[in-house]
Structure 1
Amino acid sequence: MTALTHSWFKDIDLKRLAEQAGTPVFVYSEAQFRKNLGRVKDAAAAAGLGERVELYIPFFPNSNPHVLEPLKDVDGVGILVQLPSEYRILREFGFEKFIVSPGHVSDREIAFWDETGHPTFLASLDEVAYSLRTDAPTISVRIDSLDSGKPGIKYGELGQLAALLKEYERDLEGLEVYCGSGNSLEEMVGIVEQVFSIYLEHFPTARSINFAGGHGFDYDAWTESEKHFDWHEYFRRIAQSAARMEIPEDVTFLFEPARDVLADTGALLLDIERGVITTPVSSILVTNGCRMLMPSAQLRDRNHNVAFLDSAMREITGGATTSAAVRGRTILRNDYILPGDVQVPEGVGAGCHLVILDVGAYCATQHMEFLNVPPAAEVLIAADGTMNLVTSAGGELDKWRHLLTEKTPVKQ
C-alpha cells in the first residue's frame, strides 16, 4: 500500500496539471464530494430518516462556489451562510437553498435576512425581540447550551425566550444548538438527547431541530472507513431517541457537516526546492509552499498525511527515510506547513513534489479570507498625532488587502 492507494488523487494527470496551473495548487474532486454527500444521505435513509434529514454545508470552510456546485442538484442539501456577502455571491452562482447562522448581528442585517425568507438562527434575546417587533416571517434561534463565548442564547435564558415568544403569540420555527466540536460518537448521541430535551421542555411546536456540526474527521487515518464519521450508527441512534422521546415525526432534522464531507475532497501539490537540509538545530524539507496556505494545520495540530512524487509525478515508496519538518518559502521563523515532521524518502530533492492530503476544509479558504471577513482598513498614527489611512477597507467580496500607494489623511 502506498500513501495514495486510497486517494482519488492518484488518478489525476499531475504532470499536466502542474505544467498548466503551476504550484502550489489546491486540487479538488467533485466526485469525492458527491460520494461524501451520498454516504451521509444513504445513512439517513437506512435509519428511516431520509425524509426528515436536511444537510446544510457551511460556506466558510471552503468558500469556492465552483467546488460546492454539486449542492445545487442534490435533494435535501443546501448551504449555511453567515454573512450577506456570502449570500449574494452564492446567489450569483445560482444557489437557492440556504439557512443563515450568523453571529450577533445588527437590526439592519436581521432585516436583510428577513427579506430573503431563509431560516435565520438568531443569537440573543435582543435580536429575537427585534424580529418579533418587526413581525419577521419566521423566528429561529441558536442556543449555546455550553454557556461558552460563542454567539447563542444561553441555557439559562431559555425560559425568557419562551416567555418572549408567548408574549407575541409566535412559535419558534427552528432551534440550533451549539454543543462544541471534536466530540466522540457517544458524546454526539448524548448531545442529541440534550437537544431533544430542550425541544420538549421549551419549544414543542418548533418545526425543525438543527444539530449543527462537530462531526469528526480523522486526519491520521488512510482509508475512508477510518477517516469519516460513522453516520450510520449516529442516525440509527437518533431514530431510536426520537421514537423513545416521542419527537413528532413531522419535525425536520438539520445537520451542518463540514470537515466530514469536504476534507478529503482536496489535496495540495507543492514543489520541493532541494533535498533535506540537516543542521545542528533540525532537519527541514524546503518547499514552495507556505504556512499561510493552510494555517489550520498548525492552529489545530493536524498532521495531514503526505505523499512524495518524483520529477515524473510517480509516487516514491520504500527505502530509507529521514525525519524532517516541512518548510515554507518565506523567511518567517514559524513558516512550517505541518505541525510535525514527515518521513522523507531517500532521493527526494529539487524537482520532486509533495502532496498534502485532506485539505478540502479550512485550508485555501483560511489563506484567502478566513470566515469570509473582508480585509480591514489600517491607520497609521504619526508622531504629531495626525492619522493617515495606509490600507483601505476591502469590499465585501474582496480577498486581498488594499495597500494604498500613498498615505491618505483621515478626514476629521
Structure 2
Amino acid sequence: MHHFAYRDGALFAEDVDLRRIAAEVGTPVYVYSSATIERHYRVFEEAMRAINPSRPPHVFYAMKANGNLGVLKTLAALGAGADTVSEGEVRKALAAGFPPEKIVFSGVGKSEQELAFAVEAGIYQVNIETEGELDLLSRVAAKLGRRQEAVFRVNPDIGAGGHAKITTGSAANKFGVSFEEASRLYARAANMPGVRMMGLAVHIGSQIRETEAFEAAYAKMAGLVGSLRDEGHRVERLDLGGGLGIPYEIPKSFDHGPSLIQDYAAMVGRVTKGLDVELGFEPGRLIVGNAGILMTKVLHLNPRPSKQFLVVDAAMNDLVRPAMYEAYHEIWPVTEAAADAKQVAYDVVGPICESGDTFTTGRELPELRPDDLIAFMTAGAYGASMSSTYNQRLLVAEVLVKGAEYAVTRPRQTFEELLGTDRAPPWLA
C-alpha cells in the first residue's frame, strides 16, 4: 500500500497537505512517506524471516533505488542492511547509520581504491563479479592485513525484468561470473590470502512480477551450493539479490497487499529447503517505489490541431524513467477533480530542449490549467537517484513526511552551487 490519499479535495502525504509542501518548498519536489517505507520493509523482512526462523536472513536495502539520507536513516533504524555499488554508497550508508557488518558491496567494476575503502571499513561482504576482481580484492586485503569475507555473484543465464535495460541474469549481460566457471573460481579463491569465500550470490533483474524466473535461477544456485560442498568447499551464504517488482498502475484506493511477497517467500522456502545456508536479500524498488511521488506544477498549455501539450516544470532530468525505459507513472491532480470534470487527452512534457522530454502521450486527465499541481505517482525508486543537471537545471528538493510533519532532506540546489562545481582552465581564467 501507500500513504497518499485525497482528503477534503486535496492530495495528502500521510497527514501533510501536498499543497503546503508546494507553497513552502516549491516545485518540482520529491515527497516520500515514512509510513510506506516502514510498512514495506517490515512486510518483506517478516516474510523472509518466516522461511527459516532458526536462521534469520539478512535484508540489505539496495541503495541505488533511492539514496536519500532520510530514507536511509529510516531503514537503518528498522535494522536493515545496505546493498551498495560504489565507494560513495558505502560512505553514505555508514553516514546514515548502517553498521559496517550490515553492508554488502556489489557491482561489476569495483576499483582498487573502492575495495580498499570497503575492506578498511570492515564491511560484511564483497560480491565478487569477475576473476580479475577476485585477484584485486585478495591483493588489496592482504596488503591491509585483512582477509575479506566474500561471495561470488554467479550469472545463471536466466534473465528477467520489466525492461531489457534492467535484465541482469542473462549470459548476454555483464554481471557475474559464468555458471560454468564458478566451481573453478571457488576452488582457486579458497587458497588466496586476502579472501575468505563464504558462498554465492545471484541477481537476475529488476521489476519482476512473477516468481517463475526467480525459481529457475534459485534452483540452479541451490544445485551449485550442493556441488561445491561435495567438492569440500564451505558454502555458508546464499545471497538471492532483489528484483521483486511493484505495480505502477494503481487505483486511488491502492493496496497491492503482501500476496506477491508471500508467494516469493514460499518459493524461496521450497527451493532452499534443507540447504542450511544464511540467506540474503537485496530489495530496493519494492521498499521505496510506491513510497514516493514527484510533484510538479503546470507551466503552460500548448494546443495543437491533433493534440494538447501540457508543459510542467519537472523534466526528464528530474525523472528519467519514462524517457529511458518507456516507463508508466500514474498522474494524479493534487486538487481532486470533480466526478463530472471534463477529461482531456494530454501529452505531458517538460521544459528540456528535446522531444524525449515526454512523460506520457495522450493521457486522459481532468482538464488542467497553468499553476495547477500534479503528482507523478510511484516515483520513489530510480527517480531522484537518477536525476541530473542536464540543461543546467537544478537538482530538485526532496522531502520526507512523518505523520503530520515533514522535513526537507535534500534542499533544492542553488545556481551558485551548480556553477561552483565548474573550473575554468588557467589560460581562460
TM-score normalized with structure 2 length? 0.77
| CA drift at 1:349 | 0.6
Deviates more, 1:113-122 or 1:28-37: 113-122
Q: In 2, distance between residues paired with 1:51 and 1:197? A: 20
Aligned residues: 369
Q: Does 1:56 align with 2:64?
A: no
How do 1:181-330 and structure 2 match up within 5 A? Answer: 181-183=206-208, 184-202=210-228, 205-222=234-251, 224-226=254-256, 230-243=260-273, 246-248=274-276, 251-275=277-301, 277-280=302-305, 282-309=307-334, 313-330=335-352
Q: In 1, distance between residues paired with 2:132 and 2:109? A: 10
Q: In 1, distance between residues paired with 2:340 and 2:55? A: 49
Decide which of 330, 353, 367 is 2:387's aligned counterpart: 367
Q: In 2, distance between residues paired with 1:189 and 1:8? A: 39
Q: How big is each residue's C-alpha offset from its partner over 1:289-337, in whole Å with a ceiling of 9 and x where there is no partner?
A: 112111012212221111113xxx444544331111111123333221x
| CA drift at 1:191 | 2.0
Q: In 2, distance between residues paired with 1:303 and 1:131? A: 40
Could you say which residue in structure 1 is the equivalent of 2:78? 74
Task: Please state whether the residue corresponding to 2:295 is helix, strand or coil.
Answer: strand
Task: Please state whether the residue corresponding to 1:120 is helix, strand or coil.
Answer: strand
Could you say which residue in structure 1 is the equivalent of 2:374? 354
Task: Please state whether the residue corresponding to 1:236 is helix, strand or coil.
Answer: helix
Decide which of 152, 161, 164 is 2:188's aligned counterpart: 164
Q: In 2, distance between residues paired with 1:280 and 1:16? A: 36
| 2:90 counterpart letter in structure 1 | Y
Could you say which residue in structure 2 is the equivalent of 1:149? 173
Decide which of 328, 331, 355 is 2:353's aligned counterpart: 331
> Structure 1 residues 294, 316: closer, same or farther in 2, change over 3 A?
farther
Q: In 1, distance between residues paired with 2:293 and 2:16? A: 11
| 2:280 counterpart letter in structure 1 | L
Could you say which residue in structure 1 is the equivalent of 2:128? 122
| 2:370 counterpart letter in structure 1 | A
> Structure 1 residues 221, 67: closer, same or farther in 2, change over 3 A?
same
Q: In 2, distance between residues paired with 1:186 and 1:130? A: 36
Identity of aligned residues (%): 20
Q: In 2, distance between residues paired with 1:289 and 1:255? A: 34
Q: In 2, distance between residues paired with 1:343 and 1:111? A: 53
| CA drift at 1:110 | 2.4
| CA drift at 1:259 | 1.1
Gaps in structure 2 of 5+ consecutive residues: 158-170, 391-416
Across the aligned residues of Structure 1 and Structure 2, the Cα RMSD in angstroms comes to: 2.9
Q: In 2, distance between residues paired with 1:227 and 1:401? A: 45
Gaps in structure 1 of 5+ consecutive residues: 371-398
Task: Please state whether the residue corresponding to 1:40 is helix, strand or coil.
Answer: helix
Decide which of 100, 105, 110 is 2:110's aligned counterpart: 105
- Is the Cα contact below 8 Å between 2:76 and 2:96 reproduced in 1? no
- Is the Cα contact below 8 Å between 1:23 and 1:271 reproduced in 2? yes
Task: Please state whether the residue corresponding to 1:200 is helix, strand or coil.
Answer: helix
Deviates more, 1:213-222 or 1:140-149: 140-149
How do 1:133-144 and structure 2 match up within 5 A? Answer: 134=142, 136-144=147-155
| CA drift at 1:282 | 2.8
Q: In 2, distance between residues paired with 1:92 and 1:84? A: 12
| 2:323 counterpart letter in structure 1 | Q
